[in-house]
Amino acid sequence: MIYKYRIVADSIKGNIYSGRYKPGEKLPSILALSKELSYNTDTIVKAYKLLEAEHLIYASPKSGYYVVKSSTNVDHSNRIVDMVTIRIPDYINPYKDFCHCMEKAILLSEKKLFEYSSPQGKPELITTLAKHMMNFHIFTKPQNIFITNGAQQALYILAAIPFPNNRTKVLVEQPTYSVMLQALKCNHTQVVGIERTQNGIDLNELESIFKKGDIKFFYTMPRYHNPTGFSYNSVQKKEIIRLADQYEVYIVEDDYLADLELDTKADPMYVMGEKEWIIYIRSFSKTMLPGLRLGMTILPQKLQEDFLTYKKSMDLNSPILTQGALEIYLKSSMYKFHKQRIKKYYKEKMAVLRDVCKQELEDRLQYDIPITGIFASLETSGVSADVLVNRLAKYEVFLSSTNNCYLEGFHHTQSIRLCVCNSTDDEIRKVVKLIKQELK
């Protein structure tokens, strides 16, 4: 259940951070806002009290509520524009809710959260996750779920452990998640690349690579790919699954942005394929709190013993306190409310980026802006992406090229990655206009 007063508070908070409500400005009266939103006055009072507790507004006796004049009200006009860092803006950041969950977890479990636990993960959290994943049409038993320190640890372990197909090479999309390339390099794993565009991958080439019989697993981000933002359609996903099954290649599915999906029929590959050939990875960092460092992996039974052995060699267990807090968070209405907020937020951010690209970059360069997600990429039309990034830095605008997302020697177009997490609408427009200016 999502409480109405939280919806009201979130809307007001957004108006404060966007600058619509200025520091020191008087907010609408309780009665006026009640009539405007068609909510009862008790709901508005609860919303104002919540914002007051967060020190965003204050009450003046016999006068009303005002926006606090403080450093929380940021002047965006001259700030650095960071389109590299994954950081959710303060007004939709679930930090305070998660702190509450940590406090509640300590009260409920006391010293147990500060003792050793199962390296597989806190049993109560695993049970909660098994139920939680049903919302994404994923049905699995708790014994198949493993908690890791973010998706990154799971990827490192999978790169290191032997697989039942006795193969050694890993196939990755090009471009791909740069951290995965680092994990493979550190494990001295041989890597093969296959180009991925807005139209997907060449399925004939994929079959040709699989036919050689030396691919251990295919690492893929089917939706809202990092760094491009591309997504496979259901036909492509089914064909990839069919070919992997035919040639006994495992699929490692990194579904890090499942919470942002707008299409209720867009199932993960894990739902569509044979469970003994697909490894499903999920992170709770990108859409919640980047420093949370908790992820989950659903593993086929044949991989579980080696995976756990390698994990125990890295750490005795993932942090128990944050596992306990995540369990409470997922069970509560807080998760549902946060999911609703971020789906709306990222959809709107991508709409702004899409509109300004259409206005400013039409016929100038190649771009494909996803309907939602964190990342989008722009080709730089013959200009070195690294050079363009350096040019934009002189305006205190920070972007990243996609060059470190490619295997060494893999031929590719020059592109930049745009992360829309922590940029205002005006900043997004400013960045695209500067890109247009620097490309002339």
Domain ranges of the chain: 4-67, 81-93+336-439, 95-333
Question: Is residue 61 predicted with pLDDT exceeding 90?
Answer: no
Averaged confidence pLDDT in the chain: 90
Question: Is residue 1 predicted with pLDDT exceeding 70?
Answer: no
**Maximum mean pLDDT: which of 17-21, 59-63, 144-148:** 144-148
Say if residue 227 is preceded by a cis peptide, omega within 30 of 0.
Answer: yes
Question: Is residue 287 predicted with pLDDT exceeding 80?
Answer: yes
* pLDDT reported for residue 78: 59
Higher pLDDT residue, 131 or 10? Answer: 131
* pLDDT reported for residue 73: 47
**What is d(CA 220, CA 174) in angstroms, rounded to the nearest whole number?**
10
**What is d(CA 269, CA 271) in angstroms, rounded to the nearest whole number?**
5
* pLDDT reported for residue 306: 97
Question: Is residue 72 predicted with pLDDT exceeding 60?
Answer: no
CATH class in words for 81-93+336-439: alpha beta
- Tell me: the pLDDT tens digits for 98-150? 888 989 898 887 777 788 889 999 999 999 999 999 999 999 999 999 999 99
Report the pLDDT averaged over residues 77-86. 82
Report the pLDDT averaged over residues 318-323. 89
* pLDDT reported for residue 383: 86
- pLDDT band at residue 6, thresholds of 50, 70 and 90? confident
**CA 175 to centroid of chain Cα atoms:** 17
- Amino acid occupying residue 99: C
DSSP state of 112: G
- Tell me: the pLDDT tens digits for 206-257? 999 999 999 999 999 999 999 999 999 999 999 999 999 999 999 999 999 9
* pLDDT reported for residue 112: 79
Q: Which residues contact 348 (CB under 8 A, 6 or more apart)?
A: none
Q: 95-333 has which CATH code?
A: 3.40.640.10
Q: 4-67 has which CATH code?
A: 1.10.10.10
C-alpha dihedral (430, 433, 434, 439), degrees to nearest 10: 160
Higher pLDDT residue, 190 or 58? Answer: 190
Lowest mean pLDDT among 111-115, 317-321, 328-332: 111-115
The residue among 16, 1, 111 whose CA lies nearest residue 65 is 16
- pLDDT band at residue 169, thresholds of 50, 70 and 90? very high
* DSSP calls for 230-288: ----HHHHHHHHHHHHHTT-EEEEE-TTGGG---TT---HHHHS-GGGEEEEEESTTTT
Cβ pair 285, 149 in contact under 8 A: no
* pLDDT reported for residue 77: 54
Question: Is residue 361 predicted with pLDDT exceeding 90?
Answer: no
